[in-house]
């Protein structure tokens, strides 16, 4: 049975398909000691190596919910001393699902299940992500209304979203898209600066650990998560 090299690395739990593409482009992957192209397929019996080390079938699948502190970067790049993998120090290789800004904190999911990573990233624009945001000046009704109706950022208009005031300087926002630094850009456009941004929910998973700590997802959480993305399209991954 043949499959594309990026899909192979994803399915055995080595990394996400997107990360596999980066490794291949950097000539860090070989098939039978030959450097492949991005579309090269792996056949039964082929020996696949990353950084000259053979990769084999995945370990038991794990799913973690981490409360990421500020200063930790959502990357697996070992050259970045603030990378999230070194921070969590899990005994087997895992990787993050999506991203959370270095200067933001809160919930981020970690796993070695490349298949679910791809499905969540592809279908990410259809699922809720909830944040608590603190800003530098008093919130007024006009700000809340404009945030909820859509703000021009990155050459587009953000989708309508749910925004609810918490107190004079804090609000809750639920997004169904994940543009780069979206909330900060939205606030900045309206003349506000974010002083604290915390993600408290991704789909059915809620933040319930202390900053810097993680927990395993329950079987019910994993099953519900998989059910929510089971109809994800087979197109290439969406940007998150």
Residues tagged active-site: 101
Could you tell me the CA-to-CA distances from 225 to 9, 156, 222 in Å, in that order? 22, 29, 5
Distance CA 41, CA 150 (A): 43
Closest CA to 98 of 70, 65, 71, 137: 65
Q: Please say whether the beta carbons of 108 and 68 come within 8 A.
A: yes
Question: Any idea what the Cα angle at residue 157 is, between residues 156 and 161, rounded to 5°?
Answer: 140
Query: Reduced to 3 states, what is the DSSP secondary structure of residue 101?
Result: coil
Q: Please say whether the beta carbons of 114 and 15 come within 8 A.
A: yes
Give the relative orientation of helices 17-25 and 114-122 as an angle to the nearest 10 degrees.
100
Q: Please say whether the beta carbons of 155 and 161 come within 8 A.
A: no
Measured between alpha carbons, how far apart are the two ends of the chain, in Å?
Answer: 31
Q: Please say whether the beta carbons of 130 and 174 come within 8 A.
A: yes
Q: Please say whether the beta carbons of 214 and 88 come within 8 A.
A: yes
């Amino acid at each position: 049975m043949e499959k594309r090299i990026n899909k192979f690395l994803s399915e055995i739990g080595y990394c996400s398909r997107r990360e596999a593409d980066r490794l291949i482009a950097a000539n860090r992957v070989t098939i039978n000691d030959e450097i492949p192209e991005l579309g090269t397929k792996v056949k039964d019996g082929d020996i696949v190596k990353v950084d000259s080390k053979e990769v084999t079938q995945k370990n038991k699948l794990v799913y973690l919910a981490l409360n990421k502190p500020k200063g930790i970067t959502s990357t697996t790049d070992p050259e970045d001393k603030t990378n999230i993998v070194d921070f969590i120090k899990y005994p087997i290789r895992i990787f993050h699902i999506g991203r959370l800004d270095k200067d933001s904190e809160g919930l981020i999911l970690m796993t070695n299940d490349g298949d679910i990573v791809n499905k969540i990233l592809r279908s990410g624009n259809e699922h809720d992500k909830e944040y608590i945001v603190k800003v530098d000046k008093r919130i007024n009704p006009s700000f809340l209304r404009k945030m909820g109706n859509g703000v021009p950022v990155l050459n587009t208009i953000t989708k309508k979203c749910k925004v609810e005031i918490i107190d004079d300087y804090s609000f809750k926002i639920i997004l169904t898209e994940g543009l780069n630094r979206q909330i900060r850009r939205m606030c900045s456009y309206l003349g506000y600066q974010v002083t604290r941004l915390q993600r408290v929910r991704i789909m059915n998973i809620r933040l319930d650990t202390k900053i810097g700590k993680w927990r395993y997802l329950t079987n019910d959480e994993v099953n519900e998560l998989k059910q929510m993305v089971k109809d994800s399209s087979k197109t290439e991954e969406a940007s998150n």
